[in-house]
Structure 1
Amino acid sequence: MVNPLFYSITVYRPLYADGDKAVTLTATLSIDSLTKTKEFIVKVIRIEQTDAEKLAADNAWLSDEIILYGNTALDNVTWDLSLPAVGPNGSTISWSSTNSDVIMTDETVIRPSYTLGDQSITLTAVISNGASATKTFIIIEKAAEPTDDEILNLDAEWLTIEKILNGNTAYNNTDKIKICFDSTDIQFGEEFNRRCSGKKTGRLRQQLRGQTRIP
């Protein structure tokens, strides 16, 4: 019986980005004129991620879809966002907001008032893993629905002397022409028309009760 002779084979592990590799090893056995082959399939495990690779992977992972958290689009945000503090590859993520009154860095979203209108906010993420990378997201936070006070103020602004005159040249020159009245508040407008139906201009001032001033 002959003692076996072993060969040393150097294995070079693939990069993390290249993934594990399957390698086929073929052994050829021979004696005199006889030969026989035998194959072995082995898997060579990739090397561990470098910090740079972890950073690049987490930077690519942090996308619009990750932070939207159920909102339909970055330009139509109406509720809280998802602002992760750690990426799936271990990178830390810190956040800053250009308007923390509307979007806080704890993921809370406070919709601006109807009067203030939609707001544009820039969220900045700093992704760190040894080195660091910066990523920005432009958010449009949609205004809230108007409150009763805002509706009242809007209708008060809308209600002008021109609306009431309805084509007449002046409040004291109506020539007994009927003055029409409408309102963005349907209930208020119907009640006003019911009370003012058939009344003259002098009564119109009284019915308005200071909603708009007629000199």
Structure 2
Amino acid sequence: MSKLGEEELNVLFNALSHEVRRKVVKVLGEKGKATYSELMNEVGISDSGTFAFHLRRMRYLVNKDRYGNYFLTDLGKIGYEILVNIGKPKEAVEERKEKEEYESIIEIISDRLYCFLSKDQLEKLRKENRKLLLKDILALVIDKNVTPDLFKDVVLEIDDTAVVHAPKHLLLAVESRCKDVLYVKEYENKPPQRDEVLSKTMLSISGFLKRVLGIEED
């Protein structure tokens, strides 16, 4: 950006002090050129007299070629750079704020070979008014003490998971939250243990791949 003198700065900031004129600078900065009517439409002004007044206040920032197209002067281009760069920190702050708000209400469990989802975990999240997203898990086992209502209240989605093991009373609730899950399997009495689950999961995946690829079982 060019170094400006005090007089040029005064001209620039006076011109940019009104929302309409800032919009004109942004439109021309993005489009390069625009006619009088195009600018009015882009800025959202229907009164030609009002718009002409604003253009006169921008005579050092905006010029017109012989075809009637308006464009930014060098000073106008500096004004456009200022407007663009002023917006960036605000956008970054808003984006960071949205991310923090998202993370404050969404618990994510991901990239696990094995995950046991207990009743205590879900009750804690519900008490904190938070939701749970499960993804990229090889084998997920859900506690038999979890009720369907508790599960549906807290769990948003189960995504990219090979096998989910759940008690019979949870099968419908679990299936309603599944996205890209290879198998949902029912267990009785005690939940299957980690080593057993991982071993059977690998066999299930192997069998699935063989069927998909048309490989005969030994």
Scaled to the shorter chain, the TM-score interval is under 0.3
- State TM-score, norm by structure 2: 0.26
Q: Which has the larger radius of gyration?
A: 1
Which has more helix, going by share of residues? 2
Structure 1 length-normalised TM: 0.26
